[in-house]
Amino acid sequence: MTQQFPDLKTEYIKTEDFQDNPTTLTYKGFEYAPNEDDGPDSKKKTKMTWKQKLKYCLKYTYPEIATDEAGDPIMGNDGKPFVNRYYQAKYPHGYSVKYNFEEGSLETGSLPLFKRFCQLQPTEGERITLLRTGVDKETKWTVTRAKAGVPSAPPADDISDDELADFART
């Protein structure tokens, strides 16, 4: 009889894993993932162009000059074209953010999640807890420093009222 389960070799974490489920992970850092065409050596069954993947990019990373629904440049109060806040010249087609954890990587273009990480400013090796609530445009993310002694990903029924209060912040 085998007594030990095999290691789960999952490289990527999905945003759905955090839906209504506070999960504690060990933060390693982040990197920008450029929005580019899937290459011929891509393992994906359906290859996509960078234009098809724009909806997965971090908002305000493409194009450089903000445009309205008609494609005309949006002008600032000074009469100059408004530059998108997160645009970076080295990523001309936009980018998403790849969050690296000891447990795996999460690549997403979620602006609310990016803003939460910018507010928290976690350091490498720090234990943080992520929680996603809501769906579509009502999605809210909570990113907090993990408390010592709180288990990773507790079942929703086992969370105390005090612990739930920590996740009420948006």
Convert the pLDDT of each residue in 54-88 to its tens digit: 988 999 999 999 999 998 999 989 999 999 999 99
Top-confidence residue, 138 or 158: 138
Among residues of the chain, what percentage have pLDDT more than 90? Answer: 61
Top-confidence residue, 103 or 43: 103
Count Cα atoms within 13 angstroms, Cβ side, for 47: 9
Sketch the domain layout of the chain as residue ranges.
15-38+45-166
Q: What is the pTM of this model?
A: 0.77
Q: Which residues of 71-95 are buried (b: 16+ CB within 10 A; e: fewer)?
A: eeeeeeeeeeeeebebbeeebbbbb
